[in-house]
Structure 1
Amino acid sequence: MARKNDREPGAGPVAVLGLGRFGASLARELVRRGSEVLGIDSDPVIAQRYADELTHTAVADTTDVEALRQLDVPQFRRAVVGIGTDLEASILTTAVLVDLEIPRIWAKAVSRQHGRILERVGAHHVVLPEHEMGERVAHLVTGRMIDYIKFEDDFAMVKTLAPQGIVGRSLSESRLRQAFGITVVGVKRRGEEFTYATQDTVVRAGDVLIVSGRIDEVEAFANRT
């Protein structure tokens, strides 16, 4: 199904091991976006549930290296470990994928300690969906942001309404980077789509801005709305 010599990093099918809420949701979205997906779960009822939605499904013990070899998993360039609550299975499955030399392995963690173990085992990317969503919602609840995305420990992008103080002025005139340490990267006006912001962009009342910068600075700017 997959080819090891496939040079395109984003090409080829994806193996999703563990079809719980996270794994199944991810697998279905990958299919929706045009990827071939092999979904694997140890529970035959769960595997059958998604048989019509995924490209392929299989029942197997994901901690069994021979079972994964029989399913051609070593030929995949990308694999996702969607197992969360069974920590032993999550860690052992990740270790098996590392032994099979899968080039890109994502693994779900239910805690930071779990995530650190997965990284030490060899996962290339660790995802903490509950923690990351909780952090995101907390920022939205306590601030005036419409949306919030954290990229690194101290960098974020937010969607927020334009504060009154910069309405009617171009971004160069507002000197937002000097005043707030932030950069406006996109603007959306009522009835229009988002467009890239330039120094000549004049902000209007009701504009929605995409702003990037350090977390405390973008939050401070959004709270001026």
Structure 2
Amino acid sequence: MADSRNDPVVVIGLGRFGSSLALELTRRGTEVLAIDSRPKLVQSLSGQLTHVVAADSTDLEALRQLGVPDFYRAVVAIGTELEASILTTSLLAELEIDDIWARAVNHEHARILQRVGAHHVLLPEHDMGERLAHLLNGRMFDYMEVDENYALVKTRPPREYIGVPLGESNLRRKYGVTVVCVKGKDEEFTYAGAGTVLSYDDIIVIAGKIKQVERFAELP
């Protein structure tokens, strides 16, 4: 299969999420066809995006005329207009777009988008709220779920592991987490190994199941 990372992308819906995505993709050198039904919004972005058009994405013929079937990847970034979001996603599936990403506002919306053809569903508001809750309630500096029950966490090492080589710590057996990398004071992150010895000033990135990384990050 050909590498599709730099293929052009269709972004449909140019609210805050969609416009930010389209602008960032453009900045990174990806060709973007941006579509929104609001002419004034399209006009405001015309100086920043090369290909931005006002069109009704729930109109199959309009999508065909814009050449959408020729794209490998599409993102439905429509927010609160759930009917338009769902219909647009189903039309992209009908046009046999290989890689459809769709934004959902809640879990029920997400399930419907998956049923009508979305390959990937994003819940940006939910994910950000969940991430912030983890950061506010613990000793974490950063938190990222990489799967339904697996996360990466940036935190400080607990006292019991200071000065102990990781290979002798039994950390994975005791807490079920792995130290992936470590950053010393005024240093860059490096991969952690069996001989890595942690200090009070270090920042570590750990990986594991969500409950396990949460438990580990709460250790004093």
After TM superposition, the score normalised by the length of structure 1 is: 0.94
Deviates more, 1:89-98 or 1:20-29: 20-29
Look up the match of 1:56: 51
- Name the aligned partner's letter for residue 171 of structure 2: L
2:133 equivalent to 1:141: no
- Name the aligned partner's letter for residue 209 of structure 1: I
Look up the match of 2:108: 113
2:48 match: secondary structure: coil
In 2, the alpha carbon distance for the partners of 1:193 and 1:44 equals 47
Look up the match of 1:216: 211
In 1, the alpha carbon distance for the partners of 2:182 and 2:50 equals 39
In 2, the alpha carbon distance for the partners of 1:19 and 1:8 equals 27
Identical pairs, percent: 56
1:36 positional shift: 1.1
In 2, the alpha carbon distance for the partners of 1:201 and 1:33 equals 36
1:210 match: secondary structure: strand
1:150 match: secondary structure: strand
In 2, the alpha carbon distance for the partners of 1:51 and 1:161 equals 46
Look up the match of 2:98: 103
Look up the match of 1:25: 20
Look up the match of 2:42: 47
1:34 positional shift: 2.1
Look up the match of 2:153: 158
2:198 equivalent to 1:203: yes
1:27 match: secondary structure: helix
In 2, the alpha carbon distance for the partners of 1:202 and 1:54 equals 49
Equivalences, count: 220
2:1 equivalent to 1:10: no
In 1, the alpha carbon distance for the partners of 2:47 and 2:184 equals 41
1:167 positional shift: 1.2
1:54 positional shift: 2.0
After TM superposition, the score normalised by the length of structure 2 is: 0.96
**1:194 pairs with one of 162, 170, 189:** 189
- Name the aligned partner's letter for residue 197 of structure 2: V
In 2, the alpha carbon distance for the partners of 1:11 and 1:186 equals 29
**Stretches of structure 1 lacking an aligned partner (at least 5 in a row):** 1-5
1:48 positional shift: 1.5
- Name the aligned partner's letter for residue 72 of structure 2: R
In 2, the alpha carbon distance for the partners of 1:94 and 1:45 equals 24
In 2, the alpha carbon distance for the partners of 1:190 and 1:70 equals 56
**2:60 pairs with one of 45, 60, 65:** 65
- Name the aligned partner's letter for residue 187 of structure 2: E
**2:31 pairs with one of 14, 33, 36:** 36
1:75 positional shift: 0.6
1:142 positional shift: 1.3
In 1, the alpha carbon distance for the partners of 2:29 and 2:108 equals 34
1:193 positional shift: 1.3
2:34 match: secondary structure: strand
**Stretches of structure 2 lacking an aligned partner (at least 5 in a row):** none
- Name the aligned partner's letter for residue 15 of structure 2: G
2:100 match: secondary structure: strand
Cα root mean square deviation, aligned: 1.2
1:25 positional shift: 1.2
1:11 positional shift: 2.9
